[in-house]
Structure 1
Amino acid sequence: MVEGECKLCGEHRELKLSHFIPKFVGKWVKDSSATGYIRLNQNINKRAQDIAKDYWLCGECEQLFSGWEREFANKIFYPFVKNETDSAFYGEWLAKFCASLSWRTLSYMRSMNPRSDKVVDEKEKVVLRGLASFLLGKTSNLGIFEQHFYPLDAIDSASVGVGLPENINRYLLRSMHMDVLVGDGQVMVYTKLPKFILLGLSNHSESKQMRSSRVSIREGKLFPQSYYWPKGFAEYMFGKAREISQLYRKINPNQQAVIEKTLTKNPERAAASETIAAFQHDLEMFGRAAFSPSNPDDSA
């Protein structure tokens, strides 16, 4: 048993093992991969069975998160990743789920990279307090802490693909990623799930242009429409996709042999996997250039 202060409510209680990106997301990535494993970006030369987790939340707060996760998984995540639909109605739970993701991402990134800049540190603390207050039901809305949610689909047009990284579809459809961007008095919390992007924004200057992606506090509908990216965000995202490609170039020969052996041992699994399906989209876009190392398993 692990006891300590819950990072959300602040109470000293028994702590539960909590995933930073929801467990069901990592399980889907692993189960639908070509090899049945995932590789974490922090240690690309080692297979992993699970994604990052730690003793952060008490039982009550973990239950809060689990309820919102269950709604998202059943009503949005699985229907979208299985290509059963491209639209869905949602209730108050989506704003809570998104806020919980942004809270986890910001908390995790701060734990991995403590802030030396006091101004940045204080801005992030303000965001965390605002998110926590909303999640715990102390406030009824997020105020300036907006949540913007983007369903993603494959890119298949060569004309659109000019200048894109050769693994863009594998990144959009398969990768998991967390990051925090701070600048010009603004905080942007980036959480990447397979086929979805969540941007948690604080006092963002382009908020008005981004209304189509903003998650309603009460209820709303996700459906195919035109979305607005903050200036510079697309280039940032493409850079992250290229980083993954470069990371896989560093995989050692022994691990490359392990991957090839696994694929050869069960070619039917590989052929039917979402990993290969995402790769096919890149192959249609970029031809042989798509074979540059990227996501032979799946990265997180």
Structure 2
Amino acid sequence: MVTGTSECFLCKEKKPLKASHIIPKFVGKWLKDTSATGYLRETKNADRRQQDITKLPLLCNDCEQLFSKSEKLFAEKIFKPFQDGEKRFDYNIWLIYFVISVQWRIITTQKDTAKEIPDFLLSHLDTASAIWREFLLGNSNNVGSYAHHMFFLDTIATVGDNLTLPDKPNMYLLRSIDSTIASNGKDTLFVYTKLPGIIIVSHIYPNNMRGWDKTKIVKRGTIKIPQVCAVKGFGEFLNHRIEESRNYTISENQITKINEEVRKNEKRLLNSKSIEAMIADEELKQFKNRL
């Protein structure tokens, strides 16, 4: 769908803009195809069932096409194989292009709302965005010195008695999408995107942090599971994102509609990824109650 003529955020030319997906379209399609109802519900608008994930007038058609190749490769070589149980993924330059294309979109669409971030950190964000824009356009091979990490998630089945987890972490980790420009308001800034089962973090300032192992994405290589994320403070950040997702509730009317949809196709429910995550969360709750 074309939304009107304006300046494209990537090429800066005045052209008809398309309604661009911020999180790539294939993610929404997979969530819908593997859901219990066949519909999507975004966290911040839980009362509205949808056929697609958020789109905004961002890119012209030519720039949309620049992103499409790496999105297709990521979907076919990493995202879908991972969802089917694969644990090793070979890649080359297309993966860093995909990661940067997603993180650039997050910066472009969320920077104006990041009011708690001090100006000196925002200046680093502007620098990263400018470098990445030139790379995405094919004008430069420079991606900057920023470290990008991809961390694959698994079902949480147990938890130690010294670790606190919010309710229903598996629904967030395995069945939701999320993104933000994250900062401690002092000396740390990174871009965070969570796809179903996959976390992508791009460090802006500092340009990397200790605690990642077997997660770093470079211009070519292999990424495989198991991995380690022991970055100081990241667990608390993740808990906060899970808690934030719980703040958006569904009305009784919409719950009734969901139940009606489920009853129409109980086979779909039993074979859905949604029910797997729901069962995992219920089993985790019972485990925590026994501690």
Q: Same fold (TM over 0.5)?
A: yes
Alpha-carbon distance in 2 for matches of 1:194, 1:146: 21
Residue 170 of structure 1 pairs with residue 171 of structure 2: yes
Alpha-carbon distance in 1 for matches of 2:237, 2:51: 29
Alpha-carbon distance in 2 for matches of 1:188, 1:284: 33
Map 1:55-70 to 2 at 5 A. 55-70=57-72
Aligned to 1:77: 79
2:153–2:199 CA contact under 8 A, matched in 1: yes
Aligned to 2:235: 234
Give 1:112 shift: 4.8
Alpha-carbon distance in 2 for matches of 1:93, 1:61: 16
2:148–2:203 CA contact under 8 A, matched in 1: yes
TM-score for the superposition, normalised by structure 1: 0.87
Alpha-carbon distance in 1 for matches of 2:271, 2:288: 22
Residues 1:260 and 1:63: Cα distance change in structure 2 (over 3 Å): same
1:37–1:49 CA contact under 8 A, matched in 2: yes
Give 1:173 shift: 0.8
Residue 146 of structure 1 pairs with residue 147 of structure 2: yes
TM-score for the superposition, normalised by structure 2: 0.90
Alpha-carbon distance in 1 for matches of 2:11, 2:83: 33
Match of residue 21, structure 2, among 19, 22, 26:
19
Alpha-carbon distance in 2 for matches of 1:242, 1:23: 26
Alignment size in residue pairs: 286
Aligned to 1:213: 215
Aligned to 2:253: 254
Q: Percent same amino acid at aligned positions?
A: 34
Alpha-carbon distance in 1 for matches of 2:81, 2:60: 30
1:149–1:215 CA contact under 8 A, matched in 2: yes
Give 1:115 shift: 7.6
Map 1:34-113 to 2 at 5 A. 34-83=36-85, 85-112=86-113
Amino acid at match of 2:157: D
- Which shifted more, 171-180 or 113-122? 113-122
Give 1:204 shift: 2.1
3-state SS of paired residue (1:47) = coil
**Structure 2: where are the runs of 5+ without partners?**
none
3-state SS of paired residue (1:108) = helix
Aligned to 2:282: 283
Alpha-carbon distance in 2 for matches of 1:264, 1:288: 29
1:45–1:255 CA contact under 8 A, matched in 2: yes
3-state SS of paired residue (1:38) = coil
Root mean square deviation, CA, Å: 2.3
Alpha-carbon distance in 2 for matches of 1:161, 1:11: 54
Aligned to 1:28: 30
Alpha-carbon distance in 2 for matches of 1:38, 1:117: 35
Amino acid at match of 1:273: S
Aligned to 2:262: 263
Give 1:260 shift: 1.5
Give 1:214 shift: 1.4
2:7–2:13 CA contact under 8 A, matched in 1: yes
3-state SS of paired residue (2:28) = helix
2:214–2:224 CA contact under 8 A, matched in 1: no
2:121–2:205 CA contact under 8 A, matched in 1: no
Runs of 4+ in 1 over 6 A off after TM superposition: none
Give 1:111 shift: 4.7
Residues 1:209 and 1:288: Cα distance change in structure 2 (over 3 Å): closer
Give 1:247 shift: 2.0
Alpha-carbon distance in 2 for matches of 1:128, 1:114: 17
1:180–1:187 CA contact under 8 A, matched in 2: yes
**Structure 1: where are the runs of 5+ without partners?**
291-300
Alpha-carbon distance in 1 for matches of 2:223, 2:46: 34
Residues 1:161 and 1:107: Cα distance change in structure 2 (over 3 Å): farther
1:115–1:121 CA contact under 8 A, matched in 2: no
Alpha-carbon distance in 1 for matches of 2:207, 2:76: 34
